[in-house]
Chains A and B, each alone.
Chain A
Amino acid sequence: MKKITGNKLFVRALQDEGVDVLFGYPGGYAIDIFDELYKQDIIDVILPRHEQGLIHAADGYARATGKVGVCLVTSGPGATNLVTGIATANYDSVPLVCFTGQVPRNLIGNDAFQEVDIVGITRNICKWSITVHNRDDLGRIIKEAFYIARTGKPGPVVVDLPKDMMLEYGTPIYPNEVSIRGYKPISGVHIGQLKRGLRLLNKAKKPLFLAGGGVNIAQANDIFTKLVEITKVPVVTTIMGKGAIPTNHPYFIGNMGMHGSYAANQAISNCDVLFSIGTRFNDRITGKIEEFAPKAKIIHVDIDTASISRNIHVDVPIVSDAKEFINKMLEYAQSVDTEEWVGQLNGWKEKYPLGMRKDKGITPEKIIQAINHQFEQHIVVTDVGQHQMWTTQYLEMKQGVKLLTSGGLGTMGYGLPAAIGAQIGEENAHVICISGDGGIQMNIQELATGVCQELPVIVCIFNNTHLGMVRQWQKLFYGKRYSSTCLRARKSCKGHCMTDGYECPPYFPDFIKLAESYGVLGIRVEKEEDICNAFEQAKNNRNKPTVIEFMIHSDELVLPMVKGGNPLNKMIMNC
């Protein structure tokens, strides 16, 4: 058999894995791989403007399509720029395979130019990381990397490729099968545990489903909705679980947690059986842990054994993939009498609805409602902060609508590149990025990628001239000491800030001019009545990004809210 270089095998392996898009940024120790990629046209290579943007784009692509996102960067700074993106994907269980160039093997450890121990750096923030030291192992390791990334609890994998190993000739065969003795993803459902859980549910007076991101990752939304309809058990979701059931469904109560709805948090605090699927009970979800679901027996279904009984006491643990579990449960599920309980929940929902001020002017709620009315089957990608929470509160998730957000790590700068990745994966969908004026500036250079790839991404900047979420905490809990949260502040403001008669310096950058400098349409919306029109214009702008800057008042708050460390039923409703 004719021997081939590692670089050739690399391309063959990716084609075999069905990779059609690769997010890549070249450099000295990856140049040979790019040379091989140049010689083929099955895999599309996307060149972003920064490796952090690159990996968030791969992440957005993976979340939008359910496929594995593939990154290729050079050694040293190329690799270290991936770090935040790897941790982001790790927290939200996104399947990524990240290939990093590496210095030749004889230079490893020499502090060579652009050498870093990326495997060491990423060891604790990814599912698996490995350097390929032998050309003979290359095919097997790539096979394992894809397998580990997409199976079980999905996650990012790092494969480090020394330049000289990749130039070495060796076997042309890419293996078909994979067997890793230390890694056997869980499959199947323990029927005994399922029945125990079901018995609790059937006897309950106030049962509640809590759906987490696991339901969305497993693409179990439709069957979950079916399960809810059969059992008649109401549902609350986490942020990552939003969309597990359509938000207009009569059994959907709301999002719960720190910025959840009053009704959803009351549901948790009052339920007698909490049936949770695919959530790890993160601190933003539980509030004060001792008072979380105090009256409830808890059933916890999760694919990750380490997530079960870690933060809260669980009565019935079930280790399973969400989809497999729900499918199995559908065989046994029966209707539960929940009429009174659902009535009580709907009462709370009516009495304490989510909502912002209704007087004149733009509010985030009105912008998101416009998205709800003007788009269908769209993908909304957020950055991190107030706008993210408003999106999770007001975005309606009808069938086919997707929400991509950095829930676990809370990575500012995620939104724009992830939206670009999502649009690359779903060409025909309307992809809407909702970002703040802080977050957008963390990866704004990726507008260029949107232009290069001719993507009709709609980039909404909620401009409140501040780092709004931190400012909100400062306003509520830190005596209005706005430390380092004003984006207009200049050196000369010192001593004058918030004093009578002092005029704040103008805001910069001018996002409209900035958009125009990239050759894209920029629309500034200052009046409520212009919201719809801006989205219509953006909708018709089909081969370039559109930037819409919404001028938001800096005092708009995300409410209701549970202060960190307080129980879920102790909510700040208004202030």
Chain B
Amino acid sequence: MLNISNNMSERWISLYVENRVGVLAKIAGLFSGKSYNLDSLTVGTTEDPTMSRMTISVISDDATFEQIKKQLNRAVEVIKVIDLTQTSSYKKELLFVKVFHCTKLDKSELFQIANVFNAQVADYGKDSIMIECVQTKRKNDDFISLLKESYSNIEVVRGGSVAIESISKTEQ
């Protein structure tokens, strides 16, 4: 019998695929068709224009994660599957937040918050402000919660994480 472990956790895959119509649908369809819990998926071309690289994060247990990797490997369009879960890597996500109906005081506070979070004010209006934040997913989560506490009218867009193996750092 298979031990169904309950060690649900976040796991990361970097995936090289053919840069071709339908490949994104194929990969996304694999996750939905098999009920895998896809948390984030980003895709872009690489140094080789015929190849795309995806960064995928999933919430799963060990057995399901093994199966996900095998299923990805099976796809003809998949060139390489790299498991980044245990590898030290850089993971960052782009986040834009607009805050509306700001008072002067709000604005100056937002400048300070941005500063603390290592984010930048990207755009500025009479009573609104836009902040650009490139951080880990979790930090971006924190950033959004903080803003939500203090400001009632915000608009958020986030890009999903991209990840790449570190060169020399061993810390994740």
Q: Give the interface of A toward B (CB within 8 A).
A: 119-120, 123-124, 127-131, 133, 148, 180-183, 289-292, 294, 304-306, 309-313
Residues of B within 8 A of A130 (CB): 22
Contact A182 B33 (CB under 8 A): no
Residues of A within 8 A of B25 (CB): 120, 123
Residues of A within 8 A of B66 (CB): 309
Contact B2 A313 (CB under 8 A): yes
Residues of A within 8 A of B77 (CB): 182
Contact B2 A148 (CB under 8 A): no
Residues of B within 8 A of A180 (CB): 76
Q: Is B67 an interface residue (CB 8 A)?
A: yes
Residues of B within 8 A of A312 (CB): 1-2
Residues of A within 8 A of B33 (CB): 124
Interface centre among A119, A130, A182, A294 (most CB of B within 10 A): A182
Q: Give the interface of B toward A (CB within 8 A).
A: 1-3, 17-18, 21-22, 25-26, 29-30, 33, 63, 66-67, 70-71, 73-79
Tell me which of A120, A129, A311 contacts B2 (CB under 8 A): A311
User: Given known contacts A310-B67, A311-B2, A313-B3, is B22 in contact with A120 (CB within 8 Å)?
Assistant: yes
A133 vs B22: C-alpha distance when bound (angstroms): 12
Q: Which residue of B lies closest to A310 (CB)?
A: B67
* A-B pairs under 8 A by CB, number: 54
A116 to chain B, nearest CB (A): 14
Residues of A within 8 A of B78 (CB): 182
Residues of A within 8 A of B71 (CB): 306
Could you list some 14 contacts between A and B, CB below 8 A? Answer: A123-B29, A130-B22, A131-B22, A182-B76, A182-B77, A182-B79, A289-B1, A290-B1, A294-B1, A305-B70, A305-B74, A309-B2, A310-B2, A313-B2
8 extra A-B contacts, CB within 8 A, seeds A182-B17, A182-B75: A123-B25, A123-B29, A124-B33, A131-B21, A148-B76, A182-B18, A291-B1, A304-B74
Contact A181 B1 (CB under 8 A): no
Residues of B within 8 A of A123 (CB): 22, 25-26, 29
Q: Which residue of A lies closest to B18 (CB)?
A: A182
A536 to chain B, nearest CB (A): 49
Contact A124 B1 (CB under 8 A): no
Residues of B within 8 A of A294 (CB): 1
Contact B70 A181 (CB under 8 A): no
B51 to chain A, nearest CB (A): 9
A175 vs B94: C-alpha distance when bound (angstroms): 45
Interface centre among A119, A129, A310 (most CB of B within 10 A): A310
Tell me which of B1, B18, B26, B67 contacts A313 (CB under 8 A): B1
A294 vs B2: C-alpha distance when bound (angstroms): 11
Residues of B within 8 A of A304 (CB): 74
A124 vs B30: C-alpha distance when bound (angstroms): 7
The 5 closest A-B pairs by CB, nearest first: A306-B70, A290-B1, A182-B79, A183-B76, A128-B76
Residues of B within 8 A of A181 (CB): 79
Q: Which residue of A lies closest to B75 (CB)?
A: A182
A129 vs B23: C-alpha distance when bound (angstroms): 10
Residues of A within 8 A of B74 (CB): 304-306
Residues of A within 8 A of B76 (CB): 127-128, 148, 180, 182-183
Residues of A within 8 A of B2 (CB): 289, 309-313
Residues of A within 8 A of B67 (CB): 306, 310
B47 to chain A, nearest CB (A): 15
Residues of A within 8 A of B79 (CB): 181-182
Contact B3 A124 (CB under 8 A): no
Q: Which residue of B lies closest to A304 (CB)?
A: B74
A184 to chain B, nearest CB (A): 10
A290 to chain B, nearest CB (A): 4
B33 to chain A, nearest CB (A): 5
Contact B73 A124 (CB under 8 A): no
Residues of A within 8 A of B30 (CB): 124
Q: Which residue of A lies closest to B66 (CB)?
A: A309
Residues of A within 8 A of B29 (CB): 123-124
B39 to chain A, nearest CB (A): 21
Residues of B within 8 A of A290 (CB): 1
A123 vs B75: C-alpha distance when bound (angstroms): 10
Contact A305 B73 (CB under 8 A): yes
A382 to chain B, nearest CB (A): 28
Residues of B within 8 A of A306 (CB): 67, 70-71, 73-74
A183 vs B18: C-alpha distance when bound (angstroms): 11
Contact B22 A119 (CB under 8 A): yes
Interface centre among B66, B67, B73, B76 (most CB of A within 10 A): B76
A294 vs B1: C-alpha distance when bound (angstroms): 7
Q: Which residue of A lies closest to B26 (CB)?
A: A123
A231 vs B99: C-alpha distance when bound (angstroms): 75
A180 vs B78: C-alpha distance when bound (angstroms): 10
A291 vs B1: C-alpha distance when bound (angstroms): 7
Q: Which residue of A lies closest to B17 (CB)?
A: A182
A569 to chain B, nearest CB (A): 14
B26 to chain A, nearest CB (A): 6
Residues of B within 8 A of A127 (CB): 76
A120 vs B71: C-alpha distance when bound (angstroms): 18
Residues of A within 8 A of B21 (CB): 131, 133
Residues of B within 8 A of A148 (CB): 76
Q: Which residue of B lies closest to A181 (CB)?
A: B79
